Amino acid sequence: MLAFECVLSLGTTLLIIGGFIGITFLILLALSDANLRLIFKTHFGKRTASLAGKVVWITGASSGIGECIAYHLSEAGCKLVLSARRQDELERVKKACLKSGKCKTSEEDILVLPLDTVNYESHKNAVQQVLEYFNQIDILINNAGKGQRAAWMDVELPVDRELFEVNVLGPVSLTQAVLPHMIQRRQGHIALMSSVAGIVGAPISRSYTGSKHALHGYFDSLRIELSEHNIDVTLICPGPVSSNFFIQAATSKQGEVLGREVGKDEKRMSAERCAYLSCVAIANRMYQVWLAQQPVLLFVYIMQYLPDLGTWFLLKMGLKRIAKMREGKNNS
């Protein structure tokens, strides 16, 4: 009888502790705009300043998240390679970095290197230019990418091909050109700007969603192969972010662009906040991080750990409500 009472008491205690932990987790999650491990690192992990002196190559650095990452890293004292197709915009970003009162880099510490990520034949030469200038590449941030909005059945196959080339083969090709140098040095870090659409199937963007899922497949497998060379791979997965992402986003037809600005009524994470969290993830060499406001972050957690429940719930919500949530609009 005494043994039974002890077991019952222990079980009750464990239930209370488990319930407390569960409630605490839900409260922390509700207050978070990133997965909890990353939020923990923002308070107790390595700061972006720990990257000081590192040579960091950022693609898609002329606007949006890539531009904001450049500002954070220049303030941290990194040496930067800024790449995108528009040289004039890259020069603007460089000047903005140097004008910042917090900037710890000099003009010689920032290399502007125009690059089209789908011009695969140019990648080896671009790597050589960086090595001739800085002698090393410590971190490659594959940030360049393209979005899309269109109904699944309306999309022309060339649009799928274009998104795959920009969002997947571009990063694959550039990474493959950089890796021999990192492997020889036995150190390095590859970061990819993916999306929560690389984890959860997002409607009205089949080409974008498919390309981001593919990105995870390529680089999750690479991470394992590189482990013996002391080279890390970080997949950064933002949800809705306030940027000019949709201006050049693809639609259903080849050559057509969406050309829309982000609405003032849309609830989105700022590009600056996204860049800060991305830099923290890179500084702490994390495997994969999720950056999104609620309720998108909650759905990522559910789809990751309870996929059947998550799929059932999304189907019950319906396309219109999911589309509104994805665009940061009120679902009322």
Catalytically active residues are: 208
Burial 150-187 (b: 16+ CB within 10 A, else e): beeeebbeebbebbbbbbbbbbbbbbebbbebbeeeee
Residue 17: count other Cβ atoms within 10 Å of its Cβ: 10
**Greatest Cα-to-Cα distance within the chain, rounded to the nearest angstrom:** 81
Q: Which 8-state DSSP code applies to residue 122?
A: G
Closest C-alpha among 147, 158, 167 to residue 214: 167
Residues 6+ apart with CB under 8 A from 32: 39, 297
Contact 242, 7 (CB under 8 A): no
DSSP state of 103: -
Q: Which secondary structure element, helix H or strand E, spans residue 332, and what is its range?
A: none
CA dihedral 180, 182, 188, 190 (to 10 degrees): -20
Count of other CB atoms within 10 angstroms of residue 43: 7
β partners of residue 59: 83
- Report the distance separating Cα 148 and Cα 160, nearest Å: 10
Looking at residue 274, its amino acid is: C
Beta strands in 63-105 (DSSP E): 79-83
Contacts of 186 (CB under 8 A, 6+ apart): 229, 230, 231
SS3 state of residue 187: coil
Question: Alpha-carbon distance 135 to 69, whole Å?
Answer: 22
